[in-house]
């Protein structure tokens, strides 16, 4: 494990109050844990956006919610812009009521 570095941050009172409220609701025990997670999330998002092109559908799941509604999950691997275009095309299909893209990466470049 790498060495822990301490640093200070100047932040507006209303912003830190909102952050502390979110931290408590999400279950982080302290600000440091919440900030580490936020930094990791940004780094992973950046890594995903800059990812290598490996186009492949990894997995799909189809779930019946009720008689008229189904839920589809697709796990894909590839270049971010290509996946975003695919997501927008799928979300725009007739009959799709809601869609969302969640991007991530392996986190190779972060600890």
Per-residue model confidence as pLDDT tens digits over 84-98: 888 888 888 888 899
**Pairwise CA distance, residues 80 & 88, whole Å:** 12
What global pTM score does this model have? Answer: 0.53
Structure tokens at 26: 């999400």
Q: Which CATH number is 12-111 given?
A: 3.30.70.1150
Q: What is the pLDDT along the chain (111 residues), one digit of tens a residue?
A: 678 899 999 999 999 999 999 999 999 999 999 999 898 888 877 776 666 546 577 898 999 999 999 999 999 988 888 888 888 888 888 888 999 999 888 777 776
**Pairwise CA distance, residues 108 & 91, whole Å:** 30
Q: Which residues contact 1 (CB under 8 A, 6 or more apart)?
A: 111
Q: How many CA atoms lie within 13 A of 62 on its CB side?
A: 1
Cβ atoms within 10 Å, residue 2:
5
Strand runs (DSSP E) across 1-111, as ranges? 56-64, 70-77
Cβ atoms within 10 Å, residue 104:
11
């Amino acid at each position: 494990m790498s060495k822990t570095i301490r640093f200070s941050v100047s932040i507006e009172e209303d912003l830190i109050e909102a952050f502390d409220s979110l931290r408590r609701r999400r279950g982080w025990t302290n600000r440091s844990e919440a900030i580490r997670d936020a930094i990791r999330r940004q780094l992973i998002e950046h890594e995903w956006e800059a990812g290598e092109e490996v186009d492949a559908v990894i997995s799909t799941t189809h779930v019946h919610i009720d008689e008229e509604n189904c839920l589809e999950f697709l796990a894909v691997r590839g270049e971010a812009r290509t996946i975003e275009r695919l997501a927008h095309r799928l979300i725009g299909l007739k009959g799709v009521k809601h869609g969302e893209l969640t991007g991530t990466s392996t986190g190779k470049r972060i600890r």
